[in-house]
Amino acid sequence: MLPGFSVRAWTLLCVGWAVFGCAPEATPSDAPQDAPALETPTAEANGSAATAVATGPRVVFLGTSLTAGLGLRFPDQRWPERLGAMADSAGVPFEVVNAGRSGDTSAGGLSRLDWILREPIDILVLELGANDGLRGLSTEALSENLAEIIERTRGAWPEARVLLVGMEAPTNLGAEYTAQFREVFTTLASERDVDFVPFLLEGVAGEPELNQADRIHPTAAGHERVARTVWPHLEPLLEGRTGGSA
């Protein structure tokens, strides 16, 4: 278990995930059934990635409801958009492309990749795997899907950098599965030479004040904490990039 939160807290979170978190996986043309309550159209609501126009590199966030901001009121409360605000303040602005979708497994994310690769990508932030873990899906398939996303992104946009975001599996699936699940991310980070955030929800998982009533999805304050976790890994990738990966 990662430092910073207790086994009991993570177990409670995963029980909540087991009850609430397994939204049915949508196909690329499906409108999701649990779109976040946002006041403006989002990737989930209209079937396309939500883009915040800015100068600088184009950063695509491919992920689940954690990225899509399920339950948040405003798009700018989501952690990718909070990172955009941090980057603006730091003088390294970038274009935020939020391609999060509720219920997506790694296979679901892979199924959307051709569409995502149509436009230039300077940095891909890859947040997939949480729903694989919730469903106890094959860790081998998870690894293969994530590896294919990484390599196809590099094939389409050779100068693109990939930031892989790690997750944890529910502890009720057993020590062997949770260890194998964690190893998928650490091994990929090493073997595929990608930048790596060990655990997206560090400091957020199991903290009631940072999670919504479902105990799964972060509040606006939780998303702010997530952004602070990711920022030290993303900032170095932004420096010196002007956009338009070739």
User: What residues are labeled active site?
Assistant: 65, 214, 217
What DSSP line would sit under the chain, residue for residue? Answer: --TTS-HHHHHHHHHHHHHH--PPPPPTTPPPTT----SS--HHHHSS-EEE--SS-EEEEEESHHHHTTT-SSGGGSHHHHHHHHHHHHT---EEEEEE-TT--HHHHHHTHHHHTTS--SEEEEE--HHHHHTT--HHHHHHHHHHHHHHHHHHSTT-EEEEE-----GGG-HHHHHHHHHHHHHHHHHTT-EEES-TTTTTTT-GGGB-TTSSSB-HHHHHHHHHHHHHHHHHHHTT--S---
